[in-house]
Amino acid sequence: MLQLGWPLSSDHRDTTVRQYVRDPGAELPSHWNLLDSYQADVQLPTTARRTGYSTEGIQLWLDAAASERHVYAAFADRVERWPRADPIVACG
Please give the full DSSP string across 17-70, using - where no structure is assigned. Answer: EEEE---TT--S-TTS-BSS--BSS-PPPTT-EEEEEEETTEEEEE-TTTTTTE
CB atoms within 10 A of CB 20: 25
Residue-wise pLDDT for 7-59, tens only, equals 777 666 667 888 999 989 888 887 888 999 999 999 999 999 999 999 999 99
pTM (two decimals): 0.86
Q: For 60-91, write each residue's pLDDT tens digit.
A: 999 988 888 999 999 999 999 999 999 888 76
AA identity, residue 89 = V
Q: Where are the domains of the chain?
A: 2-85
